[in-house]
Amino acid sequence: MINGVHHISLATTDIERMLGFYRDLLGLEVREMWKVPETDETFQTIVGLKDAAFHAAWLRAGNVEIEIFEYLHPKGRPVTPSPACDAGIRHICFDVGDLASEYLRLKAAGVEFFSEPQHVPEARVTTCYARDPDGNIVELQEVHAGSGIPAISTYAPLS
């Protein structure tokens, strides 16, 4: 039985650049950083990569954990950002309390958005898309009263 989503993992070619975005700009809490050497056969078996080595950061965003990996061996390849309609995992959505302010703050810091925040009346949310430094789509969403979307705290209380 599936209990829920434990974490999301992002692979990058530059962990410091990604930390600059997720930790420094978005304000996620770094819970742990670690390295796995090329001698760790268990990890190599899990990921299916011979002589794999990486360093990683474990971040918390409210009730969700995000793991960021930079493979030291074999080196990962950068990806070309694809449109939102392509197959695959398309975005990470972050709940924000004041989207207008957050949008202006991040835009001033150089984050490129697809558009200004858009209000979706039937869902009672305001939302917008941007990209992280590796081109992954990041959604910022403000949920308004009466939306029917459960508050973040109802998903998984933090201990």
The amino acid sitting at 128 is: C
| pLDDT at residue number 66 | 94
| pLDDT at residue number 21 | 98
| pLDDT at residue number 128 | 97
Could you tell me the pTM of the whole model? 0.86
CATH of span 91-154: 3.10.180.10
| pLDDT at residue number 72 | 94
- Yes or no: say if 8 and 94 are a contact pair by the CB < 8 Å rule: no
| pLDDT at residue number 133 | 96
**Per-residue confidence of the chain (159 residues) as pLDDT tens digits?**
766 777 899 999 999 999 999 999 999 999 999 998 888 898 889 999 999 999 999 999 888 899 999 999 999 898 888 999 999 888 999 999 899 999 999 999 999 999 999 998 888 889 999 999 999 999 999 988 877 777 665 455 555
- Which part of the chain has CATH 3.10.180.10? 7-73, 91-154
- Yes or no: say if 93 and 126 are a contact pair by the CB < 8 Å rule: no
* Of 55, 53, 35, 57, residue with least CA distance to 44: 53
| pLDDT at residue number 151 | 63
CATH level 3 topology of 7-73: 2,3-Dihydroxybiphenyl 1,2-Dioxygenase; domain 1 (3.10.180)
- Yes or no: say if 145 and 125 are a contact pair by the CB < 8 Å rule: no
Kind and range of the H or E run holding 135:
none
* Of 83, 39, 31, 84, residue with least CA distance to 58: 31
